[in-house]
């Protein structure tokens, strides 16, 4: 293409792009940037491949389950383009390492899955003067833009504060259409390539809103916030902070259950085996019960306030959901209205399936 030509291909070869996260968004980003001929691709991820990732994290295969994601991703990148220099960081991006890692790259592509890391990536990019290619997904919807402070708005200009823990469900709780991060990740890869080539009109100052269910793409304008604490006219944030503290979280799921009495799957199993009278309360939705269930009572969390009288308060109740966040809310609700012997199944039915009954499917 004349828009790329030899000069553009050389620019791609000379470029250094960091992909934060090798998950749903990071998969297509890494694959397409490798195919495009990006010279150096950094990949940050602390996690290992899980079978539940495979519906959307297409850089990994079933043979990779249990392997570090950076290892699996680097292998696929090299298979597509052996000339790509891959720099793997098998670690969590944190306030301690972010500036150092980010400093080695020209463009940062955010494929993370939680608010704390997104604020961390934003602040590290603003403080380092790096361009931040952003996308996020939930269920059937996605958002994408390019943050390029100081000239354009940054993530904090758009969302100055994160939602309180539990207010916006994570993808683990609410689910995500498998192809959606693919769609948004390809948009991120496109923006990164355009930035490298210096071609076209980037998404700086524009937020793309994608609704895969309606297959609609809306575009809205973003404004720079002159009072932004990190990129505004009089910034007050000059170094990285504790982002889990800022977001009020220690991981979205874990936070949900903080302070809520829990029971571990192994302990519950032992007590049930012993014959203890325990009522298992499933607070998920019907479609989730069709995947897997434990014997007991079923009241979706949304119906619980109206149907709480159906529960026998004399019994010990263990509430569960997919990963433990919704059931933590159920436990909190029940305790607030007087149920004393109510516990949350730590890690939900997925943890039960992983640690007690591997015959149950996880999702």
Return d(Cα 62, Cα 189) in angstroms, integer.
24
Minimum CB separation of residue 112 from other proteins in Å reads 5
Which of residues 244 and 252 has its CB atom nearest to other proteins in the complex?
A: 252
Closest Cα partner for 151 from 131, 128, 121?
A: 131
How many CB atoms are located within 10 Å of the residue 215 CB? 9
Per annotation, catalytic residue among 19, 228, 247, 321:
321
Query: Which of 8, 12, 15, 23: binder of other proteins (CB under 8 A)?
Result: 23
CB 3, CB 9: distance < 8 Å? no
Q: Does 187 bind other proteins (CB under 8 A)?
A: no
Three-state DSSP at 204 gives strand
Q: Which residue has the tokens 């991060």?
A: 181
Query: Which of 141, 244, 253, 256: binder of other proteins (CB under 8 A)?
Result: 141
What is the pattern of x (binds other proteins, CB under 8 A) and - over residues 93-132?
-----------------xxxxxx--x--------------
Residue 125 a catalytic site member = no
Q: How many residues bind other proteins (CB under 8 A)?
A: 46
CB 223, CB 160: distance < 8 Å? no
CB 69, CB 47: distance < 8 Å? yes
Which of residues 138 and 298 has its CB atom nearest to other proteins in the complex?
A: 138
Please, which of residues 324-363 interact with other proteins by CB under 8 A? Answer: none
Q: Does 219 bind other proteins (CB under 8 A)?
A: yes
Query: Which of 13, 78, 90, 139: binder of other proteins (CB under 8 A)?
Result: 139
Give the chain's length. Answer: 363
262-263 β-sheet, strand order = 262-263, 342-345, 316-320, 278-282, 297-298
Q: Which stretch binds other proteins (CB under 8 A): 99-107, 220-228, 234-242, 340-348?
A: 220-228
Three-state DSSP at 250 gives coil
Please, which of residues 242-271 interact with other proteins by CB under 8 A? Answer: 252
Residue 247 a catalytic site member = no
259: left (phi over 0), alpha (psi -120 to 50) or beta: left
Which of residues 41 and 177 has its CB atom nearest to other proteins in the complex?
A: 177
Write the DSSP assignment of 83-130 as a string of letters: TSEEEEE-S---TTTHHHHHHT-SEEEE---SHHHHHHHHHHHHHHT-
Return d(Cα 17, Cα 109) in angstroms, integer.
7
Q: Does 137 bind other proteins (CB under 8 A)?
A: yes
Query: Which of 8, 11, 15, 26: binder of other proteins (CB under 8 A)?
Result: 26
Q: Does 221 bind other proteins (CB under 8 A)?
A: yes
Return d(Cα 24, Cα 31) in angstroms, integer.
12
Query: Which of 10, 79, 85, 223: binder of other proteins (CB under 8 A)?
Result: 223
Minimum CB separation of residue 111 from other proteins in Å reads 5
Q: Which stretch binds other proteins (CB under 8 A): 7-15, 16-24, 235-243, 342-350?
A: 16-24
Minimum CB separation of residue 205 from other proteins in Å reads 10
* Residues paired with residue 68 on neighbouring β-strands, in sequence order: 48
The phi and psi torsions of 110 (rounded to 5 degrees) equal -95, 110
Q: What is the set of active-site residues?
A: 171, 321
Binding site for other proteins (CB under 8 A): 21, 23-26, 110-115, 118, 135-143, 158-163, 167-171, 174, 176, 181, 207, 209, 214, 218-223, 252, 302
């Amino acid at each position: 293409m004349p828009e790329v030509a030899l000069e553009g291909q050389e620019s791609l070869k000379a470029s250094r792009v960091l992909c934060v996260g090798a998950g749903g968004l990071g998969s297509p980003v890494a694959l397409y940037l490798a195919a495009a001929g990006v010279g150096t691709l950094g990949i940050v991820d602390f996690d290992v491949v899980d079978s539940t990732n495979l519906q959307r994290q297409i850089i990994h295969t079933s043979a990779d389950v249990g392997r570090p994601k950076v290892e699996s991703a680097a292998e696929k990148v090299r298979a597509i383009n052996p000339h790509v220099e891959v720099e793997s960081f098998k670690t969590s991006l944190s306030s301690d390492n972010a500036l150092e890692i980010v400093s080695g790259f020209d463009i940062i592509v955010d494929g993370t899955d939680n608010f704390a890391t997104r604020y961390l990536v934003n602040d590290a990019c603003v403080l380092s003067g790096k361009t931040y290619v952003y996308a996020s997904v939930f269920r059937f919807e996605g958002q994408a833009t390019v943050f390029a402070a100081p000239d354009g708005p940054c993530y904090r200009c758009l969302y100055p504060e994160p939602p309180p823990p539990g207010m916006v469900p994570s993808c683990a709780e609410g689910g995500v259409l498998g192809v959606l991060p693919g769609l948004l990740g390809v948009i991120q890869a496109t923006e990164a390539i355009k930035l490298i080539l210096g071609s076209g009109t980037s998404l700086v100052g524009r937020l793309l809103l994608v609704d895969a269910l309606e297959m609609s793409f809306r575009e809205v304008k973003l404004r720079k916030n002159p009072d932004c604490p990190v990129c505004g006219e009089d910034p007050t944030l000059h170094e990285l902070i504790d982002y889990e503290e800022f977001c009020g979280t220690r991981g979205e799921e874990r936070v949900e259950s903080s302070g809520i009495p829990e029971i571990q799957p192994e302990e519950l199993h032992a007590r049930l085996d012993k014959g203890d009278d325990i009522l298992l309360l499933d607070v998920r939705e019907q479609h989730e019960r069709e995947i897997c269930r434990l014997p007991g009572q079923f009241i979706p969390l949304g119906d619980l306030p109206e149907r709480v009288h159906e529960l026998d308060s004399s019994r010990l109740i263990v509430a569960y959901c997919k990963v433990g966040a919704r059931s933590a809310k159920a436990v909190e609700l029940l305790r607030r209205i007087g149920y004393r012997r109510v516990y949350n199944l730590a890690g939900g039915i997925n943890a039960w399936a992983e640690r007690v009954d591997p015959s149950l499917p996880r999702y």
